[in-house]
Amino acid sequence: NTDGIHIGKSSGIVITASRISTGDDCISMGDGSTNINITSVWCGPGHGISIGSLGKYKNEEDVVGITVKNCTFSDTDNGLRVKTWAPSSMPVTVSNVTFADIKVNNVENPIIIDQ
């Protein structure tokens, strides 16, 4: 995995005032990520900021309370993404997600939810 930052089964993480340039996700959040606050991050090139992949394995935990604010995406495939597997091995819920004050420059999919 070549993600800039990967978060999983963690709570209360704050990422702020950062520049992340990678060919993969700048930041990815896997199952069990809760109360994550991402602010003032510049991302690109790469895949953007992602929640997932979710639903591939049994006993995955929900993702709750994700905030992404005042971020800039430049030359990325995606800006903000929620990705899941179909069919899922078991249901996983993503809730209380806020995307605000997002800037995109040359981004193919500014916000994408895919399965």
Would you tell me how many other CB atoms lie within 10 Å of the CB of residue 85?
Answer: 15
Q: Which of 3, 4, 34, 47 is an active site residue? A: 47
Closest by alpha carbon to 95, among 40, 36, 16? 36
Amino acid at 98: T
Based on the residue annotation, tell me whether 47 is a catalytic residue of this protein: yes
Give catalytic residue positions: 47
